[in-house]
Structure 1
Amino acid sequence: MSRRASGFTKLLAVVWLAGGCGGASAGSGPEPYDWRLPAGFPTPRVPADNPMTEAKVALGRRLFYDVRLSQNGTQSCGSCHEQARAFTDGLVAPVGSTGQQHRRNSQGLANVVYATSFTWANPTLTSLESQALVPLFGKEPVELGFGDRQDELLERLRSDPELVAAFAKAFPEAPEPVSVATLARALASFQRSLISGNAPFDRYVYGNDASALSREARRGMELFFSERLECDHCHSGFNFQDATVHEATSEPILPFHNTGLYNEDGQGTYPAEDPGLIELTGRAEDMGRFRAPSLRNVAVTGPYMHDGSLETLSDVLDHYAAGGHARLVRGGEASPLQSGFVRGFTLTAQEKEDVLAFLESLTDTAFLTDPRFSDPFATP
């Protein structure tokens, strides 16, 4: 795991050892953040050295959409994470600020505060603070493009008096308000605020609104949670994601799954350009394993899978109904490495439409348009 991750070792140390810049002292300082949690949602777990405050979230939002965070000033975090698409980009694979196409599909950020790990297949990225360093300074692939030029980025931010004042307000105890550590913590705070829980499903289940789901969606919900389809084994709980953590959980879990998407040699081998978790662990059993994303707002986050190879939700259902892509390509031959829950099923045309209707019911349109999460630099 070292070659891809080693470039961030010193930066991670900067973020985690810069203690004391997380928040306010008791009785004074920035106003604590008001979560306004949806019904049925537990209180998120937040790092002790980066408590949520209104000032940090506001600063993080501003930085998230600031193109100065890309070395050539062409992109922001929001370029690959668009609010209207539940913070995805609609592309098979994103394109970085230098024009380099990435190998993995952009994941959504809805309810990312509850996730136990970040990116598709990296068990070492377990905090949003450390993850923020990847697009900023990563070289494989180039995203925002600062690489080893951290000082150049900080000088750029420090040259803006208004932005410096916002950093000082968010981090009043930091000896140097504008730093890699405070930048990462502000971005992480904004991302933690991106909570989605007002979909028709939520109004039906938590709001006791019997009219919130159509008859088709209710039938689809029964199928989704049935042992026949097995969907909820990897997409479980209030966030439809097995890797979920909050204040009431004890030990966070870090599951990764092989869905049988590829089986190039009959032994379960994935394409060399992206073999999954095995790339970092070196363990043969981790071939083709990736993190299961949350299904919140899934109807607007296509294309799907780690490489964006399935265009529609209908294609995704076909993939699982066939017991994995290998069954379609290799005439019924399942990968020996795929999850035991990917075993195939049969749906009538109506049942398939019902499941799709249920997945559509996870779309929170208020979240997709909430001004609290929008681009502050956008012209009306």
Structure 2
Amino acid sequence: MARRTVTRWMGWMTAVWLTAGCEGPAPAPTPEVETYDWRLPAGLPKPQVPQDNPMTEAKVQLGRRLFYDKRLSFNETQSCASCHEQARAFTDGKVHGVGSTGQVHRRNAQGLANIAYATSLTWANPALTTLEAQALTPLFGNEPVELGFGDKQDVLMERLRADPELVARFSEAFPGEAEPVNLASLVRALSCFQRSLLSGNAPYDQYLSGGKKDALTAQMKRGMELFFSERLECNHCHGGFNFQDATVHDGSSEALLPFHNTGLYNEDGNGAYPRVDPGVIELTGVPSDMGRFRAPSLRNVAVTAPYMHDGSIATLSEVLDHYAAGGRAHGLDSSRVSPVQSSFVRGFTLTPQEKEDVLAFFDALTDTDFLTDPRFADPALHP
């Protein structure tokens, strides 16, 4: 894939908005007022929401229907949910994503649990910081093809406008729009639904915030102590209420955009990652950005295998092996420590029992209510 700069990418995104008949590179502010009942799990703060897209129940419900609607792919074979399955915490279980045309992607599909708190929305693009902007990539992107509309925005709009029931839902969600079925409204509704995907009732949450001291087993508690210890260093990149450093909420003073090199590859002894996907450096050209990717949230991590940006690690046990070795590349050849990998990836030793304890703690991060909540399910199955 040819190197693209952040400026070039932003220019492409702006062109999408303009050719779709939108005014400028982003939706214009509206006089809407937030009326949504977040039903926040104990311990989770209120998400930060763009001023020009306040949450309403009508937009969330419209976004839910659009999320599961295969008409959002050009050949009508896939919906957003095809790569983001609720039972897998909105991942897909595949090593690499597969688009509507059958094209295999270079990256693993990320989960959407608590995506409302994320400061960046892909594995390695610092420019994508809002769900509204991110939605344009799967809809219209060609590198790779996901939903496959490319420059055919008019086809998508005509398709949606031909459904009277859907038009009525757009009108309800966006009553101030002269033509409610438009690209800006589409991405706003999708974004509102995604922001509603809050997960915060795992055994860990019940123990920490719910007052249920028996929610964690003794083994889970031992694993929790190890996870948060300086010995393992896990919490430096997977800390806070969302087990993710790239997190923002309504009370945040600033949004951080950290990306990390975890020593997954070191092809030349100087830290090089495979040319097919070298990380943030692909967009910035900055040498220190080689191999840097976003740390995902660990909520529901036990059901989101395989792992890493390229899906190259199959199990959580192997993930622990990777970090215990000080990076997989280092583990394969102890003389090849990457000079650009994170200083927190420096290796550690676990006994077999301690490893099982940490894995048990990962299980304690699984929110089974979230994985089955009908509010987030296909409306065709759960009206």
Please report the TM-score for the alignment, with normalisation by the length of structure 2: 0.95
Q: Is 1:320 aligned to 2:323, yes or no?
A: yes
1:194-209 correspondence to structure 2 within 5 Å: 194-209=197-212
What is aligned with 2:124? 121
- Kindly indicate whether residue 285 of structure 2 is the aligned counterpart of residue 276 of structure 1: no
Q: Deviations over 1:273-316 (max 9, x none)?
A: 00000000000000000000000000000000000000000000
CA deviation string 1:163-202 (max 9, x = no partner): 0000000000112101110000000000000000000000
Residue 11 of structure 1 deviates from its aligned partner by 2.8
8 Å contact from structure 1 (residues 258, 339) kept in 2: yes
> 1:18 and 2:45 equivalent?
no
Whole-angstrom distance in 1 between the partners of 2:17 and 2:298: 30
Q: Give the equivalent residue in structure 2 for 1:181.
A: 184
In structure 1, what residue type is equivalent to 2:190?
L
Structure 1 vs Structure 2 CA RMSD:
1.5
Question: What is the Cα deviation at residue 19 of structure 1?
Answer: 1.9
Taking structure 1 as reference, are residues 97 and 356 closer, same or farther at Cα in structure 2, changes over 3 Å only? same
Q: Is the 8 A contact 1:114 1:245 kept in 2?
A: yes
Post-superposition shift, 1:43?
1.1
Q: Secondary structure at the match of 2:213?
A: coil
Shift in Å, 1:49:
0.6
Describe the SS at the equivalent of 1:261: coil
- Cα shift readout 1:42-69 (whole Å, capped 9, x = no counterpart): 1111001100000000000000000000
Q: How does 1:1-380 map to 2 (within 5 A)?
A: 1=5, 2=7, 4-12=9-17, 14=22, 17-21=26-30, 23=32, 32-378=35-381
Distance in 1 between the 2:211 and 2:102 partners?
48
Distance 1:22 1:195, change over 3 A: farther
Question: Shift in Å at residue 260 of structure 1?
Answer: 0.2
* In 2, Cα distance between equivalents of 1:103 and 1:7: 21
CA contact (8 A) 1:321 1:346 kept: yes
Q: Shift in Å at residue 22 of structure 1?
A: 6.8
Measured at CA, do residues 164 and 303 of structure 1 come closer, stay the same or move farther in structure 2, by a change above 3 Å?
Answer: same
Aligned residues of 2:260 and 2:292 also touching (Cα < 8 A)? yes
Deviation of 1:90 after TM superposition, in Å, equals: 0.1
Q: 1:20 Cα deviation (Å)?
A: 4.5
Contact 1:326-1:332 at 8 Å conserved across structures: no
- Verify the 8 A CA contact 2:141 2:150 in the aligned structure 1: yes
Give yes or no for contact 1:23–1:172 (8 Å, CA) kept in 2. no
Gaps of 5+ in 2: none
CA deviations on 1:323-346 (whole Å, 9 max, x unpaired) are 001112223421111000000000
The answer as to whether partners of 2:29 and 2:51 remain within 8 angstroms in 1 is no
* Conserved 8 A contact 1:22-1:51: no
Question: Residues of 1 paired with 2:47 and 2:186: CA distance?
Answer: 21
Counterpart CA distance in 1 for 2:178 and 2:27 is 10
Q: How many residues of Structure 1 are paired with residues of Structure 2 in the alignment?
A: 374
SS of structure 1 residue aligned to 2:201: coil
Task: Indicate the SS of the match to 1:293.
Answer: coil
What is the deviation of 1:3? 5.1
For 1:22 and 1:257, how far apart are their aligned partners in 2? Answer: 39
User: In structure 2, what is the Cα distance between the partners aligned to 1:70 and 1:123?
Assistant: 26
Q: Percent identity?
A: 70
1:118, 1:128 within 8 Å by CA — same for their partners in 2? yes
Q: Contact 2:15 / 2:25 at 8 angstroms: preserved in 1?
A: no
What is the identity, as a one-letter code, of the residue corresponding to 2:262? T
Q: Deviations over 1:355-380 (max 9, x none)?
A: 00001100000000000000112489
Q: Is the contact made by 2:374 and 2:382 (CA closer than 8 Å) also made in structure 1?
A: no
Instruction: Please give the alpha-carbon distance, in whole angstroms, between the structure 1 residues aligned to 2:116 and 2:338.
Output: 33
